A = this chain, B = another copy of it.
Amino acid sequence: MYYVGIDLGGTNIAAGLVDDNGNILQKDSLPTLADRGYKAVVEDMSVLCERLTSAQGISMKQVKSIGIGSPGLCDAKNGVVIFAANLFFENVPVRDELSRYYDMPIYLENDATCAIAGEIVSGAAQGCKDAIIITLGTGVGSGIIINGKIFTGAFSGGGEIGHIVIEVGGEMCTCGQPGCFEAYASASALIRDAKLAAVRNPKTKILTLADNDINKINAKIVFDANYLGDADAEKLVDRYIDYLAIGLTNVVNIFQPEIIVVGGGISREGEKLLVPLRKRIHPFGTKKLITKIATSELGNDAGIVGSALVFKMQV
């Protein structure tokens, strides 16, 4: 059976032709250019569908369904993106718009939900029924599968792990609430703190690695400077892992999943990140960490595989 998975991002629309086992048979992408408005974006989704199938010598009539993973708040039932800041989308009927091109089941889910679905189908969480992904990027995204089904709270606006307050009156979050997990564990948070450190100490290796341009500082540079023994970077990474561990402790104490998959750019640090992280997670009660902590195996492909097959996990 063939399925199309579309990972709608702020920069690119990535799409793939996927089989039942989560193998990507064909992959393609187009720039999102969201400022064109949603109709042009959805039209490009259909262009990608045609390209994918013709490259494999089949037609869209042989495809069973299309799944779309979108950033932001999604109404899966009605196929509407309620709000996605980086797409300028507000109450956009993505499913209905794509239905103008194809008469087949079309599914819409949040991109982090799709990512964990992908990891369950053929990645780090393969075979798990209770799995959570935490993506460390511009924000902190979360996708939650409980007992094999998508969990988003009673009115599909829950599951916002990035917006669990972990420090009352702490750093301001983009959501307008101070102290959210996202304000400490996102790549943006690490970059913010690194810039502050670079202002205080212009001799830090963080700045050297960024060609002495404060605006070029990214999360990887901070980790790299840390590996080089830079004192500022060591302090920043240590603190970053502390806060990340607090957030994951909360996830463990709330959901106690089989696995937490750490995704997003920062997850590329791999075991260098995970080894200290696991040690700092403190589960309630037994104190023993039963939940497995792993990094994403599919990376960017998780969104394609997951959006194609996430419908199997819908409630």
Q: Which residues of A contact B (CB under 8 A)?
A: 73, 82-83, 129-130, 146-147, 151-161, 163-168, 170, 175-177, 179, 242-243, 246, 249-250, 252-258, 282-287, 290, 315
Interface core residue of A130, A151, A165, A283 (most chain B CB under 10 Å):
A165
State the CA gap A86–B170 with chains docked (Å). Answer: 35
CB distance from A76 to the nearest CB of B (A): 14
Q: Chain B residues with Cβ under 8 A from A154's Cβ? A: 129-130, 146-147, 255-258
Find A255's partner among B147, B158, B176, B249 (CB 8 Å cutoff): B158
Q: List 16 A-B contacts (CB under 8 A).
A: A73-B285, A147-B315, A153-B254, A155-B256, A155-B290, A157-B290, A158-B254, A158-B256, A159-B254, A160-B254, A164-B164, A165-B166, A165-B246, A165-B249, A176-B282, A177-B282
State the CA gap A73–B288 with chains docked (Å). Answer: 14
Closest to A156 in B: B256
Name the 7 nearest CB pairs between A and B, nearest first: A153-B256, A158-B256, A130-B154, A163-B284, A160-B253, A160-B284, A163-B253
Q: Chain B residues with Cβ under 8 A from A176's Cβ? A: 282, 287
State the CA gap A278–B159 with chains docked (Å). Answer: 20
Closest to A182 in B: B284
Q: Chain B residues with Cβ under 8 A from A153's Cβ? A: 130, 254-257
Docked-complex contact B254 and A161, CB < 8 angstroms: yes
State the CA gap A271–B18 with chains docked (Å). Answer: 54
A243-B73 CB under 8 A given contacts A255-B154, A284-B157: no
Closest to A144 in B: B254
State the CA gap A258–B170 with chains docked (Å). Answer: 28
A285-B83 CB under 8 A given contacts A153-B257, A154-B256, A249-B177: yes
CB distance from A64 to the nearest CB of B (A): 27
State the CA gap A130–B156 with chains docked (Å). Answer: 12
State the CA gap A10–B285 with chains docked (Å). Answer: 18
CB distance from A211 to the nearest CB of B (A): 33
A284-B243 CB under 8 A given contacts A154-B258, A254-B160: no
A146-B151, A163-B253, A164-B253 given; 7 more Cβ-contact pairs under 8 Å: A73-B286, A154-B258, A157-B284, A157-B285, A167-B168, A177-B249, A177-B284
Q: Chain B residues with Cβ under 8 A from A254's Cβ? A: 153, 158-161, 164, 254
Q: Chain B residues with Cβ under 8 A from A83's Cβ? A: 285
Q: Chain B residues with Cβ under 8 A from A159's Cβ? A: 254, 256
Docked-complex contact A164 and B250, CB < 8 angstroms: yes
A284-B175 CB under 8 A given contacts A130-B154, A154-B255: yes
State the CA gap A159–B165 with chains docked (Å). Answer: 17
CB distance from A261 to the nearest CB of B (A): 14
